Chain A
Amino acid sequence: MHLTSDEVVVWHYGFLKLNLTILTTWGLMLTLVGGSALMTRKLSGSIHIPRWQSFLEILVTFFLQQFEEAGLPKPARYLPYLATLFLFIAMANLCTVIPGYEPPTGSLSTTAALALSAFIAVPFYGIRERGLGNYLQSYLKPTVIMLPFNIISEFSRTLALAVRLFGNMMSGSMILAILLTIAPLVFPLLMSILGLLTGMVQAYIFSILATVYIAAATRREDEETV
């Protein structure tokens, strides 16, 4: 029994290696992109649209609404990044119903990579919206004394993001595996259902937290003026 799917290495050449985490991620990427390409192949701009297009539009509108409610006044700018976070994590977690599947989100490398992306995205969007000077000045607010705490906050929340998701997903997988050995009939099913719910909640939490961080980075000056 292995703790993460990183340990299952399929191919290895020096520094380069191909483990189960990367392979599973590729599979998920292929599914998401292939499905998206198929679904958006025949989009109609007319008033009467098919049901599946309505579903897609509802999904996208739901994302935009959620991001706006979380504090982003122009959510369409951040839609590719934030919605992809949610879709990837949700898809990775939902696929746990497939026997033998190990979610890439159960690997700390993956969750750390996602948290790192948020760590990069927050200053990226902040600088793009407010400029480098204004953004850097935000670390000195409300006083200069707060600078180390603000910097620590940046790192700690990134770490929290990575560990929270990893912990939840890894623990879910581990509990399921342990329960299968102890009580292989009813309990694994219940835990699997609970795992699905936890997975969806984690996807929502991760993407909403990233949204809030980005909103804080881009709207900090506006809040001050208000």
Chain B
Amino acid sequence: MLIDWFTLIAQLVNFLILAWLLKRFLYQPIVTALDAREKKIASELQHAALVENEAKQSMSEWKQKNDDLEKQRMLLMQQAAKEADDKKAKLFIDARKESENLRARLEESLHNEQKNLQQEIIGRISTEVFSIAKKVLTELADVTLEDCMVKVFCERLRKTEKADIEVMRGLFHQSNHPPIIRSAFSLTPEQCDSVNKTVIDLFSIDAKISFETDTNMISGLELSMNGHSIKWNIQAYIDALQLTVEVALEGDKKEKEHVHDKQPAQHSP
């Protein structure tokens, strides 16, 4: 008999024990690990899908924000460019105004300086002329310039028009202030008497004339009566002379400009 019954039963039991042991130590742990891993992979995939969706959403949001920012940037750039242009124009206008003001001030300053220089020159010329005339009169005619001037002044007073005389007389009666004679030099008593007599005779007034010396005057005399005055001095003479010179200079300048304007036209083909 090939079958040993004890061995058969023992092998059957052995096999059942082996099946149970392998289930305990092999199949169950592996199946459990497989299930756990499968679950984990499914979870990871689900999580990945979730993250992907979130990423897509975030990317969409960021793209939208980026577009908005780009539009905003363009708008700001345009605004900035416009503001810069406006500012540039304003600064240009301000600079032009400033330049014009500066030029005006410079011109005024130059004009003042020219005027001052002119005044100084006039003063010096007057002084020189006055001193030369004084010296010439003294040495050649044995008369003083002051005497001549008083004499001429008196003559001029007598030649004053009647209307002016009436006006001045009216002014004297209104205020009752004494007439004032101003001179660049001190008058001698004879000269004072001469002037005094001429004024009283001319205006037919009974008043004591006041004599004053004005060092600012270059030369000559002035009758002042309640704000109205009759002058005879070198200043008036020089003013007239200056006016004549200015007119002559102006004419010369215009002639030069006219010639300068014509020159390019002659050279043009």
Q: Which residues of chain A have a CB within 8 Å of any CB of chain B?
A: 3-4, 6, 15-17, 19, 21-22, 25-26, 29, 32-33, 36-37, 39-40, 43-47, 49, 53, 56-57, 60-61, 76, 79-81, 83-84, 87-88, 104, 107-110, 112-114, 116-117, 166
Q: Check A83/B12 contact, CB under 8 A, given A3-B2, A88-B18, A108-B2.
A: no
Q: Please, which residue of chain B has its CB at the minimum distance from the CB of A7?
A: B4
Q: What's the nearest-Cβ distance from chain B to residue A130, in Å?
A: 22
**B62 contacts the other chain (Cβ, under 8 Å)?**
no
The residue in A39, A43, A44 that gathers the most chain B C-beta atoms within 10 A of its C-beta is A43
Q: What's the nearest-Cβ distance from chain A to residue B183, in Å?
A: 126
Which B residues are in CB contact (< 8 Å) with A104?
A: 11
- Indicate if the CB atoms of B40 and A40 lie closer than 8 Å: no
Q: Please, which residue of chain B has its CB at the minimum distance from the CB of A15?
A: B6
> Chain B: interface residue count, which band?
35 or more
- Indicate if the CB atoms of A109 and B26 lie closer than 8 Å: no
Which A residues are in CB contact (< 8 Å) with B9?
A: 113
Q: Per a CB cutoff under 8 Å, which of B12, B18, B31 touches A60?
A: B31
Q: What's the nearest-Cβ distance from chain B to residue A118, in Å?
A: 10
- Indicate if the CB atoms of A60 and B11 lie closer than 8 Å: no
Q: Please, which residue of chain A has its CB at the minimum distance from the CB of B18?
A: A29
The CA of A226 and the CA of B49, in the complex, are separated in Å by: 40
- Indicate if the CB atoms of B7 and A80 lie closer than 8 Å: no
The residue in A57, A87, A110, A117 that gathers the most chain B C-beta atoms within 10 A of its C-beta is A110
Q: Per a CB cutoff under 8 Å, which of B11, B32, B33 touches A110?
A: B11
The CA of A112 and the CA of B6, in the complex, are separated in Å by: 12
A-B pairs, 9 with minimum CB distance: A45-B36, A113-B11, A80-B23, A36-B26, A109-B7, A40-B29, A84-B19, A113-B12, A108-B2
For chain B, residues 39 to 66, give those with C-beta under 8 angstroms from any C-beta of chain A: 40-41, 44
Which A residues are in CB contact (< 8 Å) with B31?
A: 60, 76, 79
